[in-house]
Amino acid sequence: MATKLETETLIEVLRDADRIAVLTGAGISAESGIPTFRDKNGLWKKFRPEELATPTAFNQNPRLVWEWYDWRRGIIAQKEPNPGHKVLARWEKIFPALSLITQNIDGLHQKAGSRNILELHGNIWKLRCTKEGTITENYETPLKDIPPLCSGCGAILRPHVVWFGESLSSTILQKAFLLSSQCEVMFVVGTSAVVQPAASLPFEASEAGAKIVEINPDPTPLSPYIDFSFRGKAGEILPLIDKDLKRKSTAQKE
């Protein structure tokens, strides 16, 4: 856990930094009541990703896959951003160039007011036509039709998310690596840092000279390589760092 001195050093680093990148994972939404994937009560402890989150699974049984996504949409629709999401939305206004790179598909960063977001793994509120590729937003919970069909061509719609075995959008990925290589500080919040290519972004940043800050109650494969480690919950740690940041900027003005 970062000591008081380390936190003060981090605040100094942040005050001198212009370009900040934040990589988030399911852990930042845990305090909002959305299950993570790999924690003890995580989704992948209860469900088999190969049956629910692969293109093969969808082709074999689109109804089963859609019932699962409809269930997740139902949960997420009732959840609100927590203080962790809100601090990042505030930082977007106070730091000249803050980039939020998320693995989350829940849309809670947007709900908290963040705007400059790169969604690496898509968004559960977006549907994509399997024939035309058109993407539409849909917030129906529960979905009227399972599987939902394209209003244009009648083909099955799929969740606009990245499944295992699928590539990420090359445009989004290139931008994520570029922002990582240009940032001066990267926060890595609530990710187990095991899923590629997202898990490589902190190394891209570190190799380019950025300071890496990890916020996670548990250690990850990234932990040995970071500069500032906060062992705790994002919804508690981010407000603490933000408070120190505010206090420092007020002190400077006086």
Using rule CB under 6 A, residue 229 touches ligand APR: no
121 is catalytic: yes
Q: Which is nearer to ligand APR, 27 or 147 (CB)?
A: 27
Q: Which of 22, 25, 73, 226 binds ligand APR (CB under 6 A)?
A: 25
Instruction: Pick out residues in 189-228 that bind ligand APR (CB under 6 A).
Output: 190-192, 195, 215-218, 220
* Site membership for ligand APR, residue 88 (CB under 6 A): no
Stretch that binds ligand APR, among 10-18, 88-96, 143-151, 233-241 (CB under 6 A): 233-241
Interface with ligand APR: number of residues (CB under 6 A): 25
Closer Cβ to ligand APR, 137 or 166, answer by number: 166
Contact letters for ligand APR, residues 126-165 (x by CB under 6 A): ----------------------------------------
Residue 37 structure tokens: 């994937």
Using CB under 6 A as the binding rule, whether residue 124 contacts ligand APR is answered as: no
69 half-sphere exposure, CB direction, 13 A CA radius: 34
> Any contact of residue 21 with ligand APR (CB under 6 A)?
no
The reply on whether position 42 binds ligand APR by CB under 6 A is yes
Of the residues 2, 22, 32, 36, which one makes contact with ligand APR according to CB under 6 A: 36
Rounded CA-CA distance 81/79 in Å is: 7
Footprint of ligand APR (CB under 6 A): 25-28, 30-31, 36-39, 42, 103, 121, 190-192, 195, 215-218, 220, 233-235
